[in-house]
Amino acid sequence: MIGQVINALVTPFNENGEIDYEEVRRLLQIGKENCNDAFVVGSTTGEGTSLSLEEKRNLYIFCKENTSLECIYALNCLSLKKAKEEYDNIKDLNISYFLIVTPFYVLPSQDGLLLYYKELAKYLSPSKIILYNVPKRTGVNLSFYTIKKLIKTCPNIVALKECSTDKNLIHLLKKNFPSFLVFIGNDDYVFEALESGADGIISVISIIYGKEMQSIIKDYKYGIKAELLISYIKFISSIVFASSNPCGIKHLLERRGEKSMNLRIPLVKITSNDDSFNILL
């Protein structure tokens, strides 16, 4: 298992819009100190779709060289052809894990999603694949039956990042496929997901609050519901995610003294003097 608290790493950009690698190094250290088990590089939180293939490749290499934790490569493409082309650009890096989002905007059917992941599983083998289901952002939803077919036919599809509140999906997957890993992708929903059988979380706020996430999971395994801590995480999430991700987490990191928390257009910085962030400092 790659861990139970995985951080979706932000990508720091300096005033010239370039990746600030010294800040990347610092964030990797902060994430490790805050008890994250692994990092996702170039995901939604990392503004992966705004990175060129060269930038994304170099960023992944840098992360691998500057942390002892597992680094997961996020593959965010609209088509099988584009996904294969991106993989061809980085296959020499021998990446162990990929987080692959459902193709967005084009609204594929369940049959299309099945073929997309089956073809990629074959093309990327022996690398392991984490399916990424985020209906709010992509407009499509991986069904239980599609995931079931993928698990049965693609041995290197080993996990799911589920960004919804569908407790029934998590329950069905863990009941029928106990060894298949399910990570919740909603920071405010971690306890409810654990109740349904989830194995952990791929989190935005764990860069700062990883210890708290680990504590919630540990307590749950001992039969304890850490109600105050759960409420605290929900409160933090309500502030950070009031704006589009990663605007909120970058604003919070900047307010805590981190550098190069700029965003690439069309995302823009939070400019209002929002007092709600003050309580998190």
Kindly name the residue from 97, 132, 189, 209 that is annotated as catalytic: 132
Assess whether the previous peptide bond of 103 is cis (omega < 30° from 0): no
For 56-67, what is the mean pLDDT?
98
For 40-48, what is the mean pLDDT?
97
Kindly name the residue from 64, 128, 161, 250 that is annotated as catalytic: 161
pLDDT at site 276:
82
Phi/psi at 161 (5° precision): -100, 115
| Dist. CA 229–CA 236, nearest whole Å | 10
Phi/psi at 278 (5° precision): -60, -35
226-263 pLDDT, tens per residue?
999 999 999 999 999 999 999 999 999 999 999 999 99
pLDDT at site 222:
96
Question: What's the chain's average pLDDT?
Answer: 96
Radius of gyration from C-alpha coordinates of the chain: 18
Q: Please list the residues that pair with 194 across neighbouring strands.
A: none
Concerning whether 87 is annotated as a catalytic residue, the answer is no
Query: Is 144's pLDDT higher than 70?
Result: yes
Using pLDDT thresholds of 50, 70 and 90, give the confidence band for residue 274.
low
Q: Would you say 101 and 76 are in contact if contact means Cβ atoms under 8 Å apart?
A: yes
150-179 pLDDT, tens per residue?
999 999 999 999 999 899 999 999 999 999
Concerning whether 132 is annotated as a catalytic residue, the answer is yes
Q: Which of the residue ranges 203-217, 231-245, 264-278 would you say has the lowest mean pLDDT?
A: 264-278
Q: Would you say 186 and 164 are in contact if contact means Cβ atoms under 8 Å apart?
A: yes
Using pLDDT thresholds of 50, 70 and 90, give the confidence band for residue 273.
low
Query: Is 277's pLDDT higher than 90?
Result: no
Percent of the chain at pLDDT > 70 equals 99
Structure tokens at 251: 């604003």
